[in-house]
Amino acid sequence: MEILAFGVQADERPLIEKAFAPHHDIRCLDVFLNEDTAPIAAGYEIISTSVNASLNNRVLQTLAAGGTQMIAQRSTGFNNIDLQVAERLGLTVARVSYYSPYSVAEFAWTLATAVNRRIVRAANRTRDFDFRLNGLMGRDLRGRTVGVLGTGKIGEAFTRIAHGFGMNLLGWDVAENPACVALGMKYVAKEQLLAESDVISLHVPLLPATHHLIDASALRTMKDDAILVNSSRGGLIDTDALVSELRAGRFTGVGLDVYEAEAGLFFLDKSLEAVEDDTLARLVTFPNVVVTSHQAYYTVDAVGQIIDTTVQNVLDYQAGRRSENVLVPAAPPS
């Protein structure tokens, strides 16, 4: 059987081909799955998708009509998939429920330290042989307060690094993580965390209840010199409200690896095209903002785990097995 994989990055392709080789042929495409590309999947029983795929009603209808029966998503998040439609169509949908939390946690701290110590600005200057220090002063992290919104596996890994820095730890989540409590984390209301934290990092899933978790009111609650980091999902932050606060001169720095309107932008080369997204165009102009293109997970360790789990999801589907990765079970035989 040949499997079709959408949205495969150049670095991922040899890893995917090697992992699938003992089991199945796989055709890797660099295009993302959406309404325009869905017809390509005709005749493929199993397809694999990336986090930036669009699996809405029309795409799923096209896939089902073309004979697709199983979707193996190469990510933990699945807010891009209409699961109710998939179930109605009898499609099996699986995801990767776990991969290295350190990849994202370490990258979140990379963003935080980059904006704190003005690394991007400094590197750009030295490239032009400008070695002045004006405007590059940062702050020690030791003794300052970090607020972690979401203390699951990634939030815990982020907290362990913060503990290593010698920071005061505040947390917010629906349930306390005993490992974070053991590190000295104090769980508080979201408003208190925002008001008292010098560094705030988001590690919660994007759900209807968390959409724009950081809205205009939340942003106004934060310290003027706070650092805000989002390496989870773009929709957690009201970007227009964030731009308004940045225009008012607030915040020491903002590090974003995700953006709420990133679909159709991130993972693609848009350097020769006019930028139609005015909010993003404004956002990247602020000297205290660093935007990266959803790469926090992108380590050989994490990607390897994602691919291995995707292979196992396919094998489980073929064997009629279900695991914690299955979001929509296979339809019963007719």
Written as six digits, the tokens of 243 are 């731009």
1-37 burial, b at 16+ Cβ within 10 Å, e below that, comes to eebbbbbbeeebeebbbebbeeeeebebbeebbbeeb
Say how far apart CA 4 and CA 175 lie, in whole Å: 39
Say how far apart CA 95 and CA 312 lie, in whole Å: 11
* 3-state helix/strand/coil string of 258-276: CCCCCCCCCCCCCCCCCCC
Query: Catalytic annotation on 233?
Result: yes
**Packing angle between helix 300-319 and helix 13-20, nearest 10 degrees?**
40
Q: Which amino acid is at 158?
A: F
Query: Catalytic annotation on 87?
Result: no
Catalytic one of 12, 156, 196, 262? 262
Please report how many Cα atoms fall inside a 13 Å half-sphere around the Cα of residue 239, on the Cβ side: 22
107: left (phi over 0), alpha (psi -120 to 50) or beta: alpha
Q: Cβ(212)–Cβ(236) under 8 Å?
A: yes
Return the DSSP state at 68.
-
Taking CA atoms, 310 is separated from 42, 56, 75, 80, 293, in Å, by 21, 21, 9, 17, 23
Catalytic one of 233, 245, 250, 260? 233
- Show which residues are catalytic: 233, 262, 294
